[in-house]
Amino acid sequence: MMKRVKRAQVVLGLVWESVQFAISSLRSNKLRTLLSLLGVTIGIFTIVLVLAVIGGLKGNIRSGLDSLGSNTITVQRESWELEGEWNWWEFAKRPPVEMDDYRYVKSYSETSDAITFFSISSGDFSYLREKFADGNIVSVTTDFEKIFAIGVDQGRWFLPNEQEGRGNLCFVGSGVASALFKGESGVGKRIKVGNFNGEVIGVASPQGESIATIFDIDNSIFVPVGFGEAISGAGGGGAVAIAPKDGTGQQESIDEIRYLVRRKRGLTPSEGDNFAINRMSYLASAVDEVFRTINLVGWLIGGFALLIGAFGIANILFVSVKERMPQIGIQKALGAGNYMILAQFLSEAAVLSLVGGALGILIVVIISLILGNDSPIPFDLTLLNVVEGLLIALVVGVLSGVIPAWSAARMDPVRAMNM
């Protein structure tokens, strides 16, 4: 037992000595060492950056899907599915989804908790001398705010009897309100929407941007469908959004909606659907493809950089072995085993690689601090990302030091002392 303790103490002492050698190498050959570690730094920087971006994107999409409702389904002319070829010309030949489809589904659906019709166009808004260019004009009906979780910051949302009429009322997003009213309350003010005037009855709570949203709520105004048709012109259609009742399976609701829309449009059993039923999960699936591509590209770039860094560390270790041959010979002559010499140089390689990895992570941290919350790309650097980056650097360092460390461990002591 005592022998094992002493052996462990000797090994730990050699490891600590190796750490000191590594630090000494960094200090005495700063330029050479930093250039050799550049590959590890770039590799860890790339990998940790990709992990942080993917984490940010996932959080962004999750918040977007939460606002839409994970079970929400929409009836539209176009499909969101990306599997196979996206035949846009086939979708263009389909009839648009219109208010008649919405009214029919709303009248006969038994599995739906909330149903709304909405259409989106674009236009310019102005109040006095302030202007907001190319914003979204979202024409809505009853239940829209329930399905899409629109928060109210000022004023109120439309009343049920206001949403399907032609009252010139507007509910504006926070971005539009900020641009037009400059911090003042917008409730009760009259703004110009296209060629029409509308009264602001409420302002939405700030939503933030999300990849998994149908439109940017902050930069939109919401109007009753009748007012929306007057602004953008009748026709063009829109979409019907449905939230199933609690306890109703999404597929059960989809089957019912498909049956009702087919019956409304008079489709025979032999005819295919001339509409698409989209699930919110399609958005997540589409972005998963983007994640896989980003992840693959990031790991490829990082992998090549780490390979170059591994060669750099191996080169430093070979130089270190050559410079310390007399010392290695003396250690072996005094009884140091091969494993002690091996542990000594592997420790040095690990320390050098960890330094390179730490520099790469430090660069990512600096970028995240500079960008802050204003980054156009969601960015979420976590402690787990940092730990993963350091572990990867440690593995790269140990692997790159195996060959030079093994050559030092197998060296003949007499020959080493005479070199």
pLDDT in the model for residue 8: 65
pLDDT digits (tens, 9 = 90+) for 311-320: 877 877 777 7
223 within 8 A of 198, measured Cβ to Cβ: yes
pLDDT in the model for residue 339: 65
pLDDT digits (tens, 9 = 90+) for 353-379: 888 888 888 888 888 777 766 665 667
Say how far apart CA 54 and CA 191 lie, in whole Å: 40
Stronger pLDDT, 236 or 83, i.e. the higher one: 236
Highest average pLDDT, of 143-152, 282-291, 302-311, 316-325, comes from: 143-152
> What secondary structure letter does DSSP report for 188?
T
pLDDT in the model for residue 337: 63
Question: Where residue 201 falls among pLDDT bands split at 50, 70, 90?
Answer: very high
Q: What is the pTM of this model?
A: 0.62
Q: Is the dihedral of CA 89, 90, 95, 99 positive or negative?
A: negative
Nearest to 164 by CA among 229, 116, 223, 226: 226
Stronger pLDDT, 32 or 217, i.e. the higher one: 217
- Mean pLDDT value across residues 227-238: 78
Say how far apart CA 419 and CA 413 lie, in whole Å: 10
Stronger pLDDT, 297 or 276, i.e. the higher one: 276
Question: Where residue 61 falls among pLDDT bands split at 50, 70, 90?
Answer: low
Percentage with pLDDT > 70 across the chain:
72
Nearest to 113 by CA among 277, 282, 251, 253: 253
Region at 112 (left for phi over 0; alpha for psi -120 to 50; beta for the rest): beta
Q: Burial, 4: exposed, middle or buried (Cβ in 10 Å; 0-12, 13-18, 19+)?
A: exposed
Domain range annotation of the chain: 10-63+286-417, 73-279
Give the phi and the psi of residue 24 in degrees, each rounded to 5. -65, -40
- Whether residue 15 is predicted with pLDDT greater than 70 in this model: the reply is no
pLDDT in the model for residue 88: 65
